[in-house]
Amino acid sequence: MADEKNLTVDPASQAMIERASEMEVFIAWDRLEAQQPQCGFGRLGICCRNCTMGPCRIDPFGDGADKGVCGASVDTIVARNLLRSLLGGAAAHSDHGRDIVPALLIASEGNSDAYKIRGRNKLYALADEYDIPRADRTDEEVAKDLGHFLLRELGKQEGVLANVMRVPEQQQKFWAALDVTPRGVDRDIVTGMHMTHIGVDNDPEHLILGSVRAALADGWGGSMIATDISDVLFGEPQPTRSMANLGVLKEDEVNLIVHGHEPTLSDVIVAAASDPELMALAESKGAKGINLAGICCTANEILMRHGIPIAGNFLQQELAIITGVVDVMVVDVQCIMPAITQLQECFHTKIISTSPKAKFPGATHIEFHEEDAMETAKQLVRLAIENYANRDPAKVCIPKQKEALIGGFTTEDIFTFLGGRYRPSYRPLNDGIQSGRLRGVAGVVGCNNARFTHDKYHLEMVKELIRNDVAVLQTGCSAIACAKAGLMAPEAAEKYAGEGLREICREVGIPPVLHVGSCVDNSRILTAAVEMVKEGGIGDSIDKLPVAGAAPEWMSEKAISIGMYFVASGVFTVVNPPLPVRGSLYVEELLTKTFENYLGATWAFEEDPIKAARLMIDHIDRKRRDLGLPPPRYEVPYQPKTIQPEPAAEVASAAVTATSAD
């Protein structure tokens, strides 16, 4: 395998990759190497398996086949593939939202030891928004109506999503003109799948607009519903201190890691881990305590509400097990590598799958049902305690790196910490942008991808943005990358931020990079943009705001949906790697150019994180000029750094060349 320093910039991960290689344990980077050369057709989006006359593939050089057996053009195939991938992502987010509703309904019965209505302010705000009566009713009665209302929204068959009323008027006009106003999550995803069947929709533009509608149903529907219900059920996050990186694991305590996405079980495990009986049991086995930590977005969910430490992001899931001290890893859905169960052959860690929809060969399956949530949570903690004695001391190796962070920012609490308790407002944010002290705001989100040096792209991009006085909102594994690098500590402003952003961070006492949650919480970035529009003075629609988005190391289909709903909501969004559409010039132009006229924003593809940040800053400056705002108060020199192209990309283009020459 290549030098671990080229695989990740995170020292804790470098140490564990080295450890894996010493122990001859195969991990993601080894499997990536074994996969070379990867398929260049797939990367360009030009192969189709939608019927058994295929698979068909289009020759990217124009010498061979330019149509599938059915006559589908390269533009149709590329657009259809993108739509299918996006639907996978939108479905995952939206099903996450649906899966939280049963817990809300159980809480509304008022007799669960696991679930209670903890976010009263959010409950009242949502009830008022959706016309659910509150007078002379208990919180539980209101929550029950809310749960049923949101279930109907997810499965809505007539009309449009209720949350469309949250969207600024200009965005609604764009969507109406294109006929992409989201109608209902289930409906728009099923319709999208139907469109991709052989011989249904063959118009590439129409297919791409189908993906816009499904993405909007995710962003303003499924994901937003997931965020809203989680806030009602588990409580609205508040800024909270915690730590991040593998160094949060403890040699002398039972370590239980929760990994995946949905908070319905992990939030209850937080309570179970502090149960006095279980703590006594842990002590009786020689452990000093029970240490709970998270990986991926489950980590973000329980960090935001309870300050539980983060063990790592997507590419650290195997590395956590290689520390030799993870007694149990509880997994539910999304971003869980099947490989982790194979590590059980070398390490004592027990992998326990819990979702009725996700089984992992080799894992112990303890199916989670909301009615028995506390019982199941305690059972899982007990299993971790019992497995503590099975650790092999010779295999224990915990990297020492961990960094302090503050997480738990939301659209709602931004009001308070900016405007103060007695005058909550977005005014100071908008004032900062209007005066030029703050250049703009960026959302930097998304995954890790083994093809690109782990965390490097997130860190370089975010540092360049804050150096140029662009405040950054983050979710997902990108947020974890920056937390591990110390960018979410308040002191980060002194070290990394430009002068204007530093002044604001000092005044308000916030880090320059704000952790706003998990993947579904990208909806918080949409609603924060809406509040900036409502506050006034920096654009009367989202596409006019000096804001931008990015996913510099994305890999999951969910990221396609997130990027598409950012763009369709008016946010210019830069991604790396490019969407798999480069086999069709038409589709690429549609997404990166024509969308400007359709939606007021476009996609951009750029691998170099500094150049990508520069695209975002230039976009923000253009928006500032269009609004007649003064130039940024503090300019810093642009320091281009050239990043070496990732080796896999070279291999892929070689693969295309080789295959087409066959």
Site residues (vs ligand MSK, CB under 6 A) = 261, 296-297, 314, 334-335, 446-447, 476-477, 518-519, 556, 558
Q: Which of 314, 316, 308 is nearest to 255 (CA)?
A: 308
Q: What are phi and psi of 407, to 5 degrees?
A: -125, 180
**56 scored as a contact of ligand SF4 (CB under 6 A):** yes
Instruction: Give whichever of 45 and 97 is closer to ligand SF4, judged by the CB atom.
Output: 45
State the binding partner of 51 from ligand SF4, ligand MSK, none, CB within 5 to 8 A by kind.
ligand SF4
Instruction: Give whichever of 57 and 558 is closer to ligand SF4, judged by the CB atom.
Output: 57
Taking CB under 6 A as the binding criterion, the range among 29-37, 68-76, 101-109, 592-600 that sits at the site for ligand SF4 is 68-76
Instruction: Give whichever of 79 and 322 is closer to ligand SF4, judged by the CB atom.
Output: 79
Cβ-contact 411, 527 below 8 angstroms: yes
Per-residue mark of binding to ligand SF4, 397-426 (x: CB under 6 A): ------------------------------
CB of 212 to ligand SF4, least distance (A): 22
- Which residue from 50, 313, 410, 541 is in contact with ligand SF4, where contact means CB under 6 A? 50
Q: Is the dihedral of CA 414, 419, 424, 426 positive or negative?
A: negative
**68 scored as a contact of ligand SF4 (CB under 6 A):** yes
State the binding partner of 335 from ligand SF4, ligand MSK, none, CB within 5 to 8 A by kind.
ligand MSK
**53 scored as a contact of ligand SF4 (CB under 6 A):** yes
**70 scored as a contact of ligand SF4 (CB under 6 A):** yes
**Distance of alpha carbon 584 from alpha carbon 602, whole angstroms:** 17
Instruction: Give whichever of 1 and 70 is closer to ligand SF4, judged by the CB atom.
Output: 70
Helix (H) or strand (E) holding 258: strand 254-260
**Distance of alpha carbon 154 from alpha carbon 144, whole angstroms:** 16
Report long-range pairs for 628-633 (Cβ below 8 Å, ≥24 apart): 629/433, 629/434, 629/436, 629/538, 629/546, 630/435, 630/436, 631/436, 632/436, 632/439, 632/468, 632/469, 632/500, 633/435, 633/436, 633/437, 633/469, 633/499, 633/500
Q: Pairing mode, if any, of strands 440-444 and 328-331?
A: unpaired
CB of 96 to ligand SF4, least distance (A): 30
Per-residue mark of binding to ligand SF4, 75-114 (x: CB under 6 A): --x-------------------------------------
Instruction: Give whichever of 153 and 201 is closer to ligand SF4, judged by the CB atom.
Output: 201
**198 scored as a contact of ligand SF4 (CB under 6 A):** yes
**54 scored as a contact of ligand SF4 (CB under 6 A):** yes
Q: How far is CA 69 from the centre of its chain?
A: 38
Measured distance between the N- and C-terminal CA atoms of the chain, rounded to whole angstroms: 30
**125 scored as a contact of ligand SF4 (CB under 6 A):** no
**Distance of alpha carbon 588 from alpha carbon 594, whole angstroms:** 9
DSSP lists the bridge partners of residue 423 as: none
CB of 331 to ligand MSK, least distance (A): 12
Q: Which of 513, 499, 493 is nearest to 443 (CA)?
A: 513
**Contact residues for ligand SF4, defined by CB under 6 A:** 48-51, 53-56, 68-70, 72, 77, 198
